[in-house]
Amino acid sequence: MIVMSRLGDLTNEQWDLLCDLLVEPEARDDGKGRPRVNSRSILDGILWILRTGAPWIDLPDRYPAYQTCHRRFQEWRKNGTLS
């Protein structure tokens, strides 16, 4: 059973159980683009949205940009990670 930490974000122990299940996006070979945001902070943001039912635009600033979290949420749904 996974229990959220006091602030709602994953604990280190919870992250250790989940991190290998997440499909990481492929890095670009051409050196262009922005660095990828780490999956843990994105997952914390996604879980906040799912827990609160708030619209993506209301994602608190302590998480990555709502567009980034939403894009990764869609990627993980499409590739079966969050099915």
Q: In a structure prediction context, what are the per-residue pLDDT tens digits for the chain, which is 83 residues long? A: 455 455 679 999 999 999 999 877 777 788 788 888 899 999 999 999 999 999 999 999 999 999 999 999 999 999 999 88
DSSP character string of the chain = -----TTSSPPHHHHHHHGGGSPPPPPPSSS-SPPPPPHHHHHHHHHHHHHH---GGG--TTSSPHHHHHHHHHHHHHTTTT-
Place of tokens 């997952």: 43
Q: Where are the domains of the chain?
A: 38-83
Structural tokens at position 66: 């709502």
